[in-house]
Structures are given as C-alpha cells and as structure tokens.
Chain A
Amino acid sequence: MSLLLFIEQALNGLQFGVMLFLMAAGLTLVFGVMGLINLAHGSLYMVGAFAAAAVAAATGSFLLALVASFVCAAFAGVLIEFFVIRRLYDRDHLDQVLATFALILIFSEGTRWTFGSFPLFLDKPDWLSGTVMLPFGIEYSLYRLVIILVGLIVAASLFWMIARTRIGIRIRAGENDREMIGALGVNISLLYTFVFALGAALAGLAGALIGAIQSVQVGMGEPVLILAFVVIVIGGIGSIKGALIGAILVGLTDTLGRSLLPALFGLFLEPSSATSLGASLSSMSIYLLMIGVLLFRPKGLFGGV
C-alpha cells in the first residue's frame, strides 16, 4: 500500500471518528450527568437523517436539511425525555436498557410506517462535491473534509461550553454530585432535558451528515450506536475528552484495519483466504481494542477510579 493511500485511509478514519464523537458525546453526557444508559440514541441519529432527507427532498437545500436534522432530533429528544426518559433516572440499568430498547422498536417501526422500507437518498450538494488538493499532493473528498471540520468545530464548542459557560458548570456539578446541583438551586429537570436534547441534536446532525454518504434507512442507527458505546466505554463513561479520544481511536482502528489487515495477510497467505481472514479480523478489531482497554483499565481510559 502506498503512503498516499495510507494517508487517505487515515483521513477516512478520522472522519469516521469525529462522526462517532458526535454520537458518543450525547451518550456520555447523558450517562455522566443523569446516570442513564440510552439505547435509543441511535434512533435519534436515524430521526436526524430522515428529517434531513425529507427536508432536502422538499426544499432542495442541504443547509436547511442539516438545520432540520438538528432541530427534529432535538425535538424528538425533548419528547422522549419528557414522556419516558425522566421516569428512568432513578431506575437500575436493566430497566433503562429495556425501556430504551422498547423506544428503538417504536421509533424504527414508526419510521418504517411513515417512510416505507426503501432507503431514502440524501445527496450532498454540488458545492460540496468533488475533491480538494491537500498539501503533499493528496487528493481528498471535499465533503469528507468538511465533515471532519464540522466535527472538530462541534467538539471544540462542546469543550468550550463545558469549561466556560454557566450551563457547563452545572453539567460538571451534576457529574460530580447530583445532590449538590439541587442545593445550588438549579432547575434539575430543565438541565436534564437540555442535556438530553443537546445529545439528541448532535446525534441527529451526525445522522444527516453520514446520510449523505450512505443511504438513509431504518436500522441505520443501531450499528453506529453500538460503536458509540464502544467509544465511550473505551474513553471512560461520562468523560467528553475520553469520548473524543475513544472516537478517533475507534475510527482509525476500524478504517485502517479494514484496509491494512487484508494487505498484511496477503503477504503470507493466498489472496482469497487473506481477504476473508483480514475482513473477519478487521470487523472484530474495535471490539478487541475495547476488551484490551477494559482488561487494563476496567473503567476506561479517562474513567474515574
């Protein structure tokens, strides 16, 4: 494999990683602040993608579609937080898993009911198509580059929000001591709804951005959800920094594993078995990564003691 190809794959891994971060950020915040494990986060990703596809089809504007994904997912988030999720904060993890599993069933089938089983297509706009020349003569997809930038900007804003703003202080207080923020006179239920909606909106945005590369269909959220779980488990549940580093690790491992492992096995195996063995192993690689991390740090890289 040439160096250029390697760099391109690394960029793809980075792009995948920042998208996973958008998903993982909400999950890890919701767990850190409210102690809730939310399987339905993938459904919010799907809601965002469908909202974007519908709005893009109606208006033809990609930017409007992105706004729609953000807003609709946030709205869906507020809705389920209000009706279901807030009843689960004091429950054990088993109840949370089951109730949010039930939400997935409802969201998935509801979407299938509304939009049908066929995938929708969300086209990236002309002004984001094509490639750009990067330094050292690397030609790379403009759209993917934009995704990386958007992801990094969102990450930076999140870090800024948590470190510098009033709401960030409350979120951090909530992570450390739930009793305390009540004592501080913060309206907890409003804070919880906000955190949940923020996480939902980010997931929705990720769904729309990815929807333009892949197809928009029911069930698209769950594979990403599981990867996002792997990310926050690796990073340490509740840690935004851990989510970012975990996401990039997982993104790179997955993408590079897919391209490098078959080539690596090709060095000493016949091509067909090298391909199949490489594919099997690379699909398992991120789980192996996660298991490896947990064996040495049972609470993730940046998890508390």
Chain B
Amino acid sequence: MRKESLLNAALLVVLLAFPLWAWFVDEPFLITLTTRAIVFAIAGIGLNFALGFGGLVSLGHAAFFGLGGYVVGVLAFHAQTYTPLMEWPFAIGGTKSMPVTWLTAIVLSTVLAFAIGALSLRTTGVYFIMITLAFAQMLFYFTISWSTYGGEDGLSLYVRNGFPGLNTMDPIQFFAICYVILLIVLFIVFSISRSSFGLALGASRQNEERIQAVGQVPFRLYLTAFAISGAITGLAGALFADLNRFVSPTMFSWQTSGEIMVFVILGGVGRVFGPVAGAVLFILLEHTLGGLSEFWHIYLGAVLLGVVLFARGGLYGMIAGREVAHD
C-alpha cells in the first residue's frame, strides 16, 4: 500500500479510536474536541475542492460556513420561539431536525456558491481572492446589523437539534453522526476526484488552453467545482452550529476564511485527505500550545510560516512525498 493510503487509513482509525477511548475513560471533552476537528476537516475538504482541485484561491469560504451555521441557527430560533420563518407566499416554520437543517444548508450554500462563483469567476488572480473575500465580508456585516437574529451577539440553540433515533446531546452519539458524515463526504470527494469531472477540472487547473482545445469550457468546470465546494463547507457550518449550539457573525469573518485555508495548507493542498490531517494538526496545536500559553496564535503563526516557506505540500507532502498520479 502506498504511504498516502496508509496515512489516510491511520487518520480515520485514530479519529475513531481516540474518542472511543475517551468515551471509555469518561472524558467527554476529548470527544467533543475530536468532533470539532472533524467539523473543521469537512470545512477544509470543501475549500480544498475549489482550491486544490480547481486552483481557485477563495478567501471567502467563511460565507458558506457562516450560511450553513445561520441556517441551523435561524431555523432553530423559529422553532424555539414558535414563530413562523415566513408566512407568505407559503408558511414555513422553524425546525430542530438535523437532517432537514443540513439539507437546507447544503441547498442554500450551493445556491450562494453559484451566485458568488458566477460573479467572481469573471476575474482571476488577486482579483478573485479579493472579490471572494469581499462577498464574505458583506455577509459578515450584514449579519452584524441584522438585529432580528441577534446581530453581533449571534443566536443560541437551547438544546442541540435532534436526529431521529439518537440522543444528540450525548457527545459520543453526536461524534458518531459527524464521523459518518465525514466518511460520506470523503467518499464523495474521492469519487469525484477520480471521475470525468475531476480529471477535466484538474486539466483545466493545470492548463486552460488545453481543456479549451479539447472542447470544454473552463468556466463551467470552475463554477461547478465552486458550487460543490460551497455546499460541503456549508454543511460543515451547519454541523459547527450543532456542535456549539451557537452561531455568531464570527463564522462569516475573514479570520474564519483564513483558518479554513490553514486546515487545507497544513494537511496538503489537493489531497483528498489533506484537510483532515490539517484539521487534526490544527486542533492538536490549539490544544497543546493553547495549554502552554494563552498567546498560542503566535506559535500557530510560526508553524504556518514554516510550512509555507519550507515544507510546501503540508503534512502529506512531508510524509507521503510527491503526489502520485493515479490511473
């Protein structure tokens, strides 16, 4: 087995074994910590789809993360207050059902990503980076000033949303839900990376002239990739809201976009499992360095700087070496 596959398998095993051990020794905090890593991983997998596979450097993925979160927050808010979300043209109430909120988050994030992508993909390079950042900032300021849903203070969920047949307030059960979702997302992304679309998208990233000369339009490939990417990050945002039982405009902030990018880079750009490794590493750093000093972001910055300057390819690049072309 190749080193990369070994590393993938090891990550999945550790992500499962560690919380089970924590459950066994009754350390719910560690279970929640792992769940957090998984949610971040999913957000990173989403960004990686645009960034790594499509070469689209989006500094605005907080838009989708935040939207996913606010879908959960707003629907729960209406369910908690027994107020309708809207009465016209048809009545829609809030809900506290996880599957329904996730689906809504995915659909709305896809729509938002289509809109943002369709406008942003007219530009390239730095302009693309900036315009995606601007869209996220726009939503950030919008939620801050949207007092109906808490404005700057955000929204709280009194109890965690429900999932049929499970007690989501139990950390290990909520972990299990997130772990399964991670597996599904990984499977989907892995399949796409080996599909016709994945091949064409990668070709377009490497050489637009080439993909045009064989009759395909790069813009359509990029826009589809951006929409898929937004949908996945949006789902992660929804899970993040479920995890914390709280959403706030911070989810839309540019630091969030930066952090999602950090997960991708720490792990390794363009690898299906890269963001998983990156998110785990991030949580590890946060936990260990955070224990050393309340100013742990200094060390995080130094590590990140080191990775960018000296260890391109992230953790996967260091351990598994250059990516092997698969066929």
Contact = CB atoms under 8 A, between A and B. Distances in A.
Contacts of A288: 138
A160 interface: no
A280 B146 contact: yes
Nearest to A222: B254
A291 B300 CA distance: 33
B130 interface: yes
Interface in B248-278: 254-255, 258, 261-262, 265, 269
Contacts of A287: 134-135, 137-138, 141
A37 B126 contact: yes
Contacts of A226: 133-134, 137, 254
B42 interface: no
A295 B118 CA distance: 11
A105 B131 CA distance: 23
> Number of contact residues on B: which range applies?
35 or more
Contact of A112 (B254, B261, B295): B295
B312 to A, nearest CB: 8
A112 B119 CA distance: 38
A298 B312 CA distance: 31
B79 interface: no
A50 interface: no
B295 A84 contact: no
Contact of A280 (B137, B142, B308): B142
B309 interface: yes
- Secondary structure of the A contact surface, majority rule: helix
B5 interface: no
A113 B130 contact: no
Interface stretch (A95-103, A119-127, A175-183, A185-193): A95-103
Contacts of B262: 98, 101
A305 to B, nearest CB: 13
B192 interface: no
A104 B59 CA distance: 15
Contact of B127 (A97, A233, A279): A233
B318 interface: no
B62 to A, nearest CB: 12
A284 B138 contact: yes
B145 A110 contact: no
A16 interface: no
Given A98-B265, A287-B134, A109 B129 contact: no
A47 to B, nearest CB: 15
B258 A291 contact: no
Contacts of A298: 122-123, 127
A283 interface: yes
Interface in B294-318: 295-298, 300-302, 304-305, 308-309, 312
Contact of A105 (B265, B301, B308): B301
B261 A113 contact: no
A103 B142 CA distance: 28
Interface in B120-166: 122-123, 125-127, 129-131, 133-135, 137-138, 141-142, 144-148
B297 to A, nearest CB: 4
Contacts of B37: none
Given A284-B138, A290-B131, A97 B305 contact: no
Contact of B122 (A87, A230, A280, A295): A295
Contacts of A106: 297-298, 301-302, 305
Contacts of A300: 127
B303 to A, nearest CB: 8
A108 B326 CA distance: 43
30 contacts: A37-B126, A84-B309, A93-B125, A93-B129, A94-B51, A94-B57, A94-B269, A95-B312, A97-B57, A98-B308, A99-B305, A99-B308, A101-B258, A102-B301, A102-B302, A102-B304, A104-B301, A105-B304, A109-B295, A109-B296, A113-B298, A229-B130, A230-B134, A233-B131, A280-B142, A280-B145, A287-B134, A291-B131, A294-B122, A298-B122
Given A98-B304, A233-B127, 7 more contacts: A84-B305, A97-B57, A105-B298, A109-B301, A113-B298, A226-B137, A294-B131
